[in-house]
Amino acid sequence: MSDLKDLSATVEDLRSKKYKELPSDLVNAILAIEAEALDSLKAARQIERVIDKWLSEKEAK
């Protein structure tokens, strides 16, 4: 969503300054989920799935 550009920019800015260890694609995925979500339960579940996937991928490496 083009409207998210500003939001993402702010978050990315912070991430790169204070939270370098966090991957930016993960952060963007969370933003996208929240932007689309209407139901907080759904959002939380989706975020969980994304994180689990990322963690297992990391482990595999």
- Interface residues with another protein (CB under 8 A) are 1, 3-4, 6-7, 10-11, 13-15, 18-19, 21-22, 26-27, 30-31, 34-38, 40, 43-44, 47-48, 51, 55, 59
- DSSP string for residues in the chain: -GGGHHHHHHHHHHHHHH-TTS-HHHHHHHHHHHHH-S-HHHHHHHHHHHHHHHHHHHHH-
Minimum CB separation of residue 47 from another protein in Å reads 6
Rounded least distance, CB 46 to another protein, Å: 9
